[in-house]
Structure 1
Amino acid sequence: MVTEPGVLRWRDPAGEIDHLSEVADRIGRSVETVIDGKSDVVRTALVVLFAEGHLLIEDVPGVGKTMLAKALARSIDARVRRIQFTPDLLPSDVTGVSVYNQGTRDFEFRPGPVFANIVVGDEINRAEPKAQSALLECMEEQQVTVDGVTYRLEAPFMVVATQNPIEMDGTRALPEAQRDRFTARVSMGYPSPGAELAMLDNHGQSDPLTNVVPVTTAAEVAKLANAVRSVHVSGEVRQYIVDLVGATRRHPEITLGASPRATLHLIRTARAHAAVSRRGYVLPDDVQAVAGPVLAHRLLLHPEIMLSGEPTNDIAARIVTDLIARIPIARQDPARPSRRGR
């Protein structure tokens, strides 16, 4: 673990970081009343939320992907909309459409489900690419343009999408531009025997989502997400992030490495991970904790590597783990003053 001289004497005079950590704990406990035995996945979802990012949940059917997305949405007193992605979905079904009004003799815009604080996209990789592309502008710029008119989306804005593995019937790989806009990807995995037994007790008689109540508000989440931007990142940690992302572009098993957008997402999630951990400064440990979910889904592997029989997600995760182990962490000279730039 590397720290800067004087950083450990950091204080939180406004109490924003402490408050963020408390709110994250409340949301996490609320979600875990529905999702048993997946604390790491829930924590990553919270980090992405406060990093003002978007989350992709990928796994086989029936492991709780949509349940996690709905539980997170219900734990926040915010506008929530759900989109079921199907092959016949149109871009206007996502963004909205201009409709002619006979009374006013003019066109009026009817907003689509993307006009919400949390948008739950179910089975996103079952839709045609043109429907998926309807999310590109709103995920990157937090706005929607229809018929030449641009409409701003209200903060906070988060897309939580689920997808099944591409080996399953009726699915297709997300376009690279779409994948790159998701801040992180997580996999649910099968529950442990103990968690599955608890699930039978908790889910057997009623839908546990009916008991999930909001534990915070959209305004509070937006305020705390804004506070994450002030979390300090030293020059050495910044260099470590650049080195780590750059190494994916030179790896012999990778055709297309992580983009500059991935660098920005990595530093944002590292800041959020530090804040959720009740710290106002980023350690290399924070970067390493989020590097797998942030980087692995963006890597495009060489075709011969993909034919090895090993799942591509596992290969990408292994590569990121290997890079974390190999990339050195720059250490600051204790005699040199700390660089406090943000």
Structure 2
Amino acid sequence: MRVPTWLRSLLAAPGAAVLLAGGLILGSASPAHADPPPITLTERCGVAVLSWDTGTIGGEETWATTVLRNGVAVDRFEMRERGNRRYGAADRDAFVVRRAGLPDVNLMFREPDGCADVPRLTVTAGAQCHVLELRLSNEGTTAVTGLRLYTPASPAAEELAPVPPGAVTLVRRLADGDNYALVGGAPGPEQVTWMVGTYREPAGCGPDAIAVEVADACAGVRVALSSRADGATRVTVLVDGVAAVHRVVPARANDTFTVPAGPGAVVVVRNPELGLDLATHTVRAVPCGSPTPDGSAGPGSGPGGGDDDAGAGGGLPVTGTPAVALLVAGGLLLASGTAVLLVARRRRIRFTGGD
């Protein structure tokens, strides 16, 4: 049976309404994408407060975020819809906030008027073999106090000694993937971050990272170190169980030096971070030369060093019987020459008389 046109239109209307309703339901079930949160900077004495807020509530989106201060990464975290973080800062410090998939946000810190004796600290981090190296540079005139270092070895925070004006280097043993944080101020919402990061151990850091050669030398031993690692490695040399030398061998570099030690002493080259002895050597006596001030090895050694050559080639003047004979011969030659000269002059004289 043929369905009238008007009936087909009527039947189609409810179907369209159902499809529209279904679309609305599906649309409401899909999560809403929040706009990237705008970032603002609030300046306090010695502290930059970064705040952000999307204006939405209950969103689930996050943005992998890195914060740089004067080109150095000082924080990494997952940014959510709203929040704030505090960073140590000095006048004209440049902050850059980088979020995955979004343009960088550049902010300049301007210190408020009336700030005095605020911390002026610059922190840089370096990954060496088995250790994290933090260099704290205090550019102010007073010591920076109240710093705390969080690591897996000190989850309750290690209270650091005051950092006087100048530079201080901290070295802490960490495992690959360990997180760390250097903070200041009172714990809680007012805590100030100076550096947050993750330690990544350089390649090649292991028992075979350093090749060692030890050889006897005058009054000690000669130690040659060669690094195969992509990070600096710390080495300690002990003489009879007492640490005598501490060295930091740069990545892929060589280092040679002499360690004083007497005959019979036991010299050990050790990787202190691994507690591993890399070489052990017992010192044997080696004769030492005694060079003279002019650089020669002493009388009687080398050409012209014996008594038979005395006086040759710019030595001391010749004296004794040969010298007397030379003087007599010289006198005879002088007298003969004088006589010949007088005879010659007499023969050339002409006398003329008058007519």
Q: TM-score range by the shorter chain?
A: under 0.3
The higher-RCO structure (CA 8 Å, 6+ apart) is 1
Higher strand share: 2
Higher alpha-carbon Rg: 2
Provide the TM-score with structure 1 as the length reference. 0.20
Higher helix share: 1
Provide the TM-score with structure 2 as the length reference. 0.19
